[in-house]
Amino acid sequence: MTAFAYKNGEMCVENVPLSAIVKDVGSPVYVYSTSEMVSAYRSFSEAFTEHNAKICFAVKSNSNLAVISTFSKLGAGADVVSEGELERALAAGISAKDIVYSGVGKTKEEINAGLKAGIYQFNVESLVELKSLSDIAVSKNINAEVGIRINPDVDAETHQKISTGRKQDKFGINIDQASEAFALASSLPGINPISIAVHIGSQLTDVAPFNDAFTHVANLTKKLRSEGIPISRLDLGGGLGVSYVGEKTPTPVDYASVVNSTLGDLNCELIFEPGRYLTAKAGILLTRIIYIKDNTLKRFVIIDAAMNDLLRPALYNAPHAIQQVIEPEALSELKNYDVVGPVCETGDTFLKDQPFGNLKPHELLAIRDTGAYGAVMSSTYNSRPLVPEVLVNHEDYALIRPRETLEEQLQRDRLAPWQ
């Protein structure tokens, strides 16, 4: 059961009417449900109760401190890909011993920060990074625990911009070079190579690519152990998809079944990095209609949210369901509209030919399933302020990021001395 539902003719999040939030903080605004995040986390974690499993929330999906803290209190660790995400995870209460540091381009400063914090594991993605990590670890008299991310050349069958496990993608070390990489890692001081890492992409709606990738991981684990490399951890990344507009998606139990069948006999600790699965369904972008425009060929609903607030539709052609906050009458006449934002790009379009009943100017709309890769990918394009974020818990709600002001935007700029 979703936390977003109509009650007395109005959409609520948990027990809070959306109109009350808009009255308080304005629109557009991101609204997140605590209960939805808790439910998703428990659904995922309960699928792996029979395993020695560490669940590390992928901070990239939603980096708000209050969101990270919600998962920290449930026992989650964090998967980070930058020093900024590392600092956020620590500030939100996650122990460094529960943090995995991924990413294809870690700088020396970022490696230093991870070593200083004492993180659980670095996932290394190239031989040059491996040597850099060794040099820095030795200079600090630290022995870093390392996973080497392999690229299994598996097509995740997802959007090409979020497919990360094909040979032509920038991520990881080609699986054919894995033995060489682990041999090098074993010879380097300051490095303890105990883990294989893999992540083939995001928003997977079929478990078959997972099965292919994990089969490669299982075979490689056995090969490396035969070569004297004591692999004891497997970081399986994330990627489990969610249904945005009715797609059939696998459950955590379906995913766990693949893990069991491919890796269950290896006696390894398993690390998971779910992000989208934990947060997407927990968020909406609440927006208000500015104008309704009919140019004879098309009807447009122009809203106060834009592509700078939610980039996914413009970047990936990713659809998000959009609903009226005030429940439409059952017999109201349906008309098709394109839902667009005010930014000066034709790509600032959320949905095309969407049927609505009896729309009115200034009416509130809810753009669904925006808890992942929503606010984190927002920008100030067209000098539009970053929108606020609100977290709901039962009857309570709190502003967890205030709306940026134009004054704050201007204060970040500086005129040159000669101006």
Rg over CA atoms, the chain: 23
Q: Is 56 annotated in the active site?
A: no
Question: By the 8 A CB rule, do 210 and 204 touch?
Answer: yes
12, 56, 268, 344: which one is catalytic? 344
Question: By the 8 A CB rule, do 288 and 364 touch?
Answer: yes
Question: By the 8 A CB rule, do 173 and 125 touch?
Answer: yes
Per the rule left: phi > 0, alpha: psi between -120 and 50, beta: everything else, 237 is left
| CA dihedral for 253, 255, 258, 262, sign (positive or negative) | negative
C-alpha distances (whole Å) from 101 to each of 111, 129, 236, 254, 333 are 9, 13, 14, 27, 52
CA-closest candidate to residue 213, choices 153, 267, 145: 153
CA-closest candidate to residue 3, choices 364, 395, 363, 373: 395
What are the residues whose beta carbons fall under 8 Å from the beta carbon of 260, sequence distance 6 or more? none
Tokens of 311: 């980039």
Catalytic residues: 344
